[in-house]
Amino acid sequence: MDKKIGNNELCSCGSGKKFKKCCRDKKPRRESIFVDMGTPTIINAYSIGPLGEIEFKRDGQKVDPLSAFLKKWYDKKKGQKILYDIPVDVNNLSLNYLKQFDYIYAIDTNIKEVEGRLMSVCYCAKYNPLTKEGFMRGPICFEDNPNVTEQSNWGELIKDIMKQDEYSSNLKIAIVVDSDYGNIQKYNSRELPIANQFYVPENFTLIYASTDSGIENLPNQMISECDKLAKKYLK
């Protein structure tokens, strides 16, 4: 149920800001979990646990979906403004998307022609959901290299992570990006390579998040900071 919040009370989104300086004037957000059972399936019961865990049931028996994703958006005249779109582990179905990842990275590349030369600047962010620690990395700069794209840098980041001493193929790692939304699911299902015939490894997941809205959410905060720093450095 909706609860009225005073202007000077802390905003319910968890940002730590007062309501009047946070979500008061924002368009109402909608958040849903979408599931695909693979075949037509009757679901006559579901439950949501205290930590956000979800179970679907048919006649008392648990039913596991084939795939699921958590999406947050708000409605505009021209359609939906997607804030984030996060694949959810069907073996650990939960509204708490942080729970399924060991590390969350974000990466953004800004490309601009400067005095006839193609300049690219990339920033990355890393966050550990367990320790709640994070750091920024950058700028990584490229000059006069037409092969540098958002997608090629996603691949380079993944390759770099896989070379780190702490890396293991058992780790679940998310990469937050802000472009090519229409192909994200195909990259995650390995229908398409992200660049140069490089496919997303099994233990990696691409997450889409917007840079210009939804700053109250962690994926949006991370990608927005990368975008802001890259633009500033490029300028």
Block means of pLDDT (10 residues each) for the chain, 235 residues, are 68 73 80 91 91 90 92 89 93 87 96 88 95 92 86 95 95 97 95 94 97 90 95 90
Looking at residue 204, its pLDDT comes to 97
The DSSP secondary-structure symbol of 134 reads E
Q: Is the pTM of this model over 0.85?
A: yes
Looking at residue 1, its pLDDT comes to 31
CB 90 within 8 A of CB 64: yes
CB 144 within 8 A of CB 117: yes
Question: Under 8 Å CB-to-CB from 195, ≥6 apart: which residues?
Answer: 149, 151, 152, 154, 155
101-235: CATH, from 3.30.479.30, 3.30.420.10, 3.40.50.300, 3.30.530.20:
3.30.420.10
Q: Where in the chain is the domain with CATH 3.30.420.10?
A: 101-235
